Amino acid sequence: LDRDLIDLLERYYLFEHAHFYGHSSKDDNTGNYFFASDVTKDKLTHYVAYKLQKQFDIKGFKRIYFNLQFNGMSGAWHKDDGHKTYMLMITKTLKKDSGCFEVKVGSEIKSFPFERNKLIIFESNLFHRGLAPLEPGQPRMTLAFKTI
């Protein structure tokens, strides 16, 4: 996305859109808790979804939401619903080894550094998790699009 749009998304989701503490990666709530908000019906999010649909020929979305983590709020290994997940990193690029995104592919764990405006596409049935930032007070936000 262009710089103005990613700046707008960061400010809008962090400071103008409600987000709720208590989300967990696992249904049994045994993982760490972090903030989340469903933005499936949000108009600004619809614009980003439209851009993804055009670029990747996506048929539709089951759900769209953002996750917000701070130091100590790492996610647990889990699978998503839907066909594929398109995950956009929204907030500022983090230091090396901070806030990485991990996906298990067979016996291998692929690690992706948290870089602002990076889009990661993966099959929803793969185990994955988002690690918390190491820096205190630094937000780590991703926008997840679950496809049909």
pLDDT tens string 53-96 = 999 999 999 999 999 999 999 999 999 999 999 999 999 999 99
Strand order in the sheet with 140-147: 20-23, 34-38, 61-69, 140-147, 84-89, 119-123
Q: What is the pTM of this model?
A: 0.93
Predicted pLDDT of residue 18:
86
Q: Is the pLDDT of residue 29 over 60?
A: no
Predicted pLDDT of residue 74:
92
Predicted pLDDT of residue 26:
60
Q: Is the pLDDT of residue 45 over 80?
A: yes
Burial 22-49 (b: 16+ CB within 10 A, else e): ebbbeeeeebbebbbeebeebeebeebb
**Residues whose CB falls within 8 Å of the CB of residue 25, separated by 6 or more in sequence, listed in order:** 31, 75, 76, 77, 78, 129, 130
